[in-house]
Amino acid sequence: IRESAALTRDVLEQHFSDLKGTLKKLLDERLMSLLQEVDAIEQESIKPLDECQKLIEHGVSTADDLLREGESAVHGDVGQQNEKLCNFTKKALHIQLDSLPEVPPLVDVPCLSAQLDDCLLTILKNQIFQHGTVASRPPVQLEEFVEKPGGILVRWCKVDDDFIPQDYRLQYRKSTASHFEDVYVGSETEFIVLHIDPNVDYQFRVCARGDGRQEWSPWSIPQIGRTTLVPHEWTTGLEGYSLSSRRNIALRNDSQSCGVLYSKAPTYVCGQTLTFRQVLSGIETVGQPDRRDSLGVCVEQQNGYDSLQRDKAVCISTNGAVFVNGKEMTNQLPAVTSGSTVTFDMEVVQLGPSSNEGGNFKLRVTISSNNREVVFDWVLDQCCVSLYFGCSFSYPGWKVLVF
């Protein structure tokens, strides 16, 4: 409590300090803008009046000079008096003493003033008093971590009954990293975080955005999650497929070579969920489907086949047909298209003496695709709890992520 309270105080003080600086800057900018507007009006309005004043002052100065010259002519010597009066008269006739520039009426002369509405203070006061809240606990909290091969399924839940979430935001970081990074933003309450290194601690936190709001809620208490399961990887070296750097994405390329691309090792263990997801390739479309296409699991790698539609394997074709040990089931799933997700779940239901079906090991298999699923028992003649996975596509363009 003391640690979170101290952190909250620091956040509040820093936020309001930044806010003060920003408000002062905005007020200074507005003041400068208004002062510049005053200067512009003053300069534009005073210029013709200054010119008018100069003309009037020049006319008055000329009249004063003429008046002094006339007084000198009147009071001068008798011999020079006639000549001075004659010059004065000529000069007076050439000067228009009754001519004045047009002076605008006083009502037409600008008179600057500032209009400042005090309601701004009222608006700011109301907004400031409503700005910011202090929460005793975040409205959402992390609920569960589920280990996945090379990933972690993170689940969270809402703990504030009065809070109506619109979106959630999940972040994570390695225990050795200094900054969190976004990994999911959306309306779901769970997400599989991939590219997780096995046996390494990661910190997770989540927050939410209320319905109709722009700001995010406080973060949940950070919690540590880890996975001990190594990531699923496709095997390298098959000519017909190109792999991503982490070898968890396989793209059927333009090569004429065909065959089944298997996993690097039998990393799928009964009791887990194996997921295949079709993702967009560079041409933004999936490849042309073929009946021999397959996505599935098998007991062992067997070269020489161009599909998993064989013995000791279960798979789904891109047209939705399900095959068990090479035989097509009557039940069929939706066709696999771009963005489709296909999952395999298996559990041991029989281990022991031979059954009526002739096997001594039975797995209950659930294959799901596009919100539909088929469930059946897969009978094997050997105990097998870790399996290979594989895929095969006849035409280029198919791109599959496994996790």
Domain holding 323: CATH number? 2.60.120.920
C-alpha closest to that of 296 among 361, 393, 390, 205: 390
Q: How far is C-alpha 231 from the chain's CA centre?
A: 28
Among 86, 103, 130, the domain-final residue is 130
Together in a domain, 391 and 261? yes
Per the CB < 8 A criterion, the answer to whether 171 and 150 are in contact is no
Together in a domain, 90 and 70? yes
pLDDT grade for 284, boundaries at 50, 70 and 90 = very low
Together in a domain, 119 and 199? no
Give the model confidence (pLDDT) of 207-216 as tens digits. Answer: 999 888 888 9
Together in a domain, 249 and 392? yes
**Is residue 234, in this structure, part of any structural domain at all?**
no
Whole-number pLDDT of residue 70: 75
Whole-number pLDDT of residue 65: 78
Together in a domain, 174 and 266? no
- In single-letter form, the type of residue at position 354 comes to S
Give the model confidence (pLDDT) of 181-220 as tens digits. Answer: 999 999 999 999 999 999 999 999 999 998 888 889 889 9
Among 78, 108, 130, the domain-final residue is 130
Together in a domain, 41 and 110? yes
pLDDT grade for 101, boundaries at 50, 70 and 90 = low
**Is residue 233, in this structure, part of any structural domain at all?**
no
Calculate the alpha carbon distances from 82 to 57, 86, 349 in Å.
31, 6, 145
Per the CB < 8 A criterion, the answer to whether 196 and 150 are in contact is yes
d(Cα 49, Cα 207) in Å, to the nearest integer? 66
Task: Answer with the residue of higher pLDDT: 254 or 54.
Answer: 254
Among 99, 130, 161, the domain-final residue is 130
| CATH number of the CATH domain containing 181 | 2.60.40.10
C-alpha closest to that of 250 among 292, 229, 281, 283: 281
Among 30-34, 85-89, 124-128, which stretch is predicted with the lowest mean pLDDT? 85-89
d(Cα 243, Cα 235) in Å, to the nearest integer? 9
- In single-letter form, the type of residue at position 130 comes to Q
Q: Read off the pLDDT of each residue in 334-357 and give the average, rounded to a whole number.
A: 80
8-12, 90-94, 119-123, 142-146 — most confident range:
142-146
165-174: strand order across its sheet? 181-186, 165-174, 202-210, 223-225
The yes-or-no verdict on residue 356 having pLDDT over 60 is: no
Together in a domain, 156 and 261? no
Together in a domain, 290 and 377? yes
Together in a domain, 25 and 91? yes
Domain that holds residue 4: 1-130
Give the model confidence (pLDDT) of 6-25 as tens digits. Answer: 988 998 999 999 999 999 99
| Domain tally, the chain | 3
Give the model confidence (pLDDT) of 292-320 as tens digits. Answer: 999 999 999 998 899 999 999 999 999 99
Q: Read off the pLDDT of each residue in 377-389 and give the average, rounded to a whole number.
A: 90
This prediction has a pTM of: 0.63
Together in a domain, 178 and 267? no
**Is residue 235, in this structure, part of any structural domain at all?**
no
Phi, psi angle pair for 219, to nearest 5°: -75, 150
Together in a domain, 204 and 352? no
Together in a domain, 293 and 179? no
